[in-house]
Amino acid sequence: MAKRAIIHMFDPMTHNSPFDINMALDSGYDVLIPYANVELDQIAGLTQDTIFSRGPKGVKQTSIFIGGRDIGLAMDMLDAAKAAMVPPFEVSVFADPSGAFTTAAALVACVESELKKKHNTDYQGKRAIVFGGTGPVGLATAVIAAQAGANVTIVDHFSIDTALAHASESKERYGVDLQATTAASDADKARLICDADVVFCTAKAGIQVLNASVLSDAKQLKVAGDVNAVPPLGIEGVELMDFGTPLIHATQSEGAVGIGSLAVGNVKYKLQQALLRKMLESDGPVYLDFRAAFEGAREIVS
């Protein structure tokens, strides 16, 4: 009897994400088992229960998905699952907490595409500002962009201490140097984007982060990307489906363009599906995090 494709979804939150459940089922898994309130010290046991019950052939039809909202915890859980494998009993593992890795990868890849297409350049040495940079998507965006060569500043709306703590953790975990600051007023935001090349807007849904007045202070802005799909959108003048549309309010930045949330979301959707299928189709185990997500997003965008 042929083995059915099973995905076990480990989540430290009270509920598994319906979005991730739908995506997994639509990507070809026959059976999906959600686990809520999973703690880090439980990952090894759950993983070994997963691998030993299916045999060396059955593990190829078995995968683990790690969710939640904390990207550091998700990476720790992925590492714990990988360490619990006993070859040839190994299954693939994909970490995408709150969709942060796939969303961030899609955002950074879309912006990179427009940097190359419209400005004949890349992230190397560019100044990038991440508004909402202490949230899961914002922090993942910052790390990916920094690893691609950008000089990145993460912005917290309220707390400089929170921003500094996340920058310090990112240095320790991922080896990237992030600048950290806070910006609550339009004057603070204008100061930050004055000499920025790239702006990422990853703040909470339904909040306009950058209005027309602030954008008009940008002097060398090249690309701005927004992931907020709930009105009011995060960047005034950037519409949902924009992909390389001129930023009419960035009057001092010649050639500045915007990328909207649904344009990013289209890439994110394709990316998450592709990574979920990759676990099923790979001959051996694969371990997928934000780095694999960015590699995949680049392929989709190109």
Three-state secondary structure readout of 221-232: CCEEEECCCCCC
β-pair partners for 201: 131, 226
pLDDT at residue 55, as a whole number: 85
Q: How many CA atoms lie within 13 A of 234 on its CB side?
A: 23
CATH of 6-99+267-301, one of 3.40.50.10280, 1.10.760.10, 3.40.50.620, 3.40.50.2300: 3.40.50.10280
pLDDT tens per residue across span 46-101:
999 999 998 888 899 999 999 999 999 999 999 999 999 999 999 999 999 999 99
Is the peptide bond prior to 12 cis by the omega test (within 30 degrees of 0)?
no
Sign of CA dihedral 127, 133, 134, 137: negative
**For a pLDDT cut of 70, what percent of the chain falls above it?**
100
Helices (H) and strands (E) in the chain, counts: 11, 12
Contact between residue 128 and residue 152 where contact means Cβ atoms under 8 Å apart = yes
- Homologous superfamily of domain range 103-264: NAD(P)-binding Rossmann-like Domain (3.40.50.720)
Contact between residue 152 and residue 130 where contact means Cβ atoms under 8 Å apart = yes
Give the residue carrying structure tokens 């050639």.
255
Contact between residue 77 and residue 19 where contact means Cβ atoms under 8 Å apart = no
Examine the pLDDT at 2 and tell me if it is beyond 80. no
Give the residue carrying structure tokens 């992030």.
178
pLDDT at residue 1, as a whole number: 60
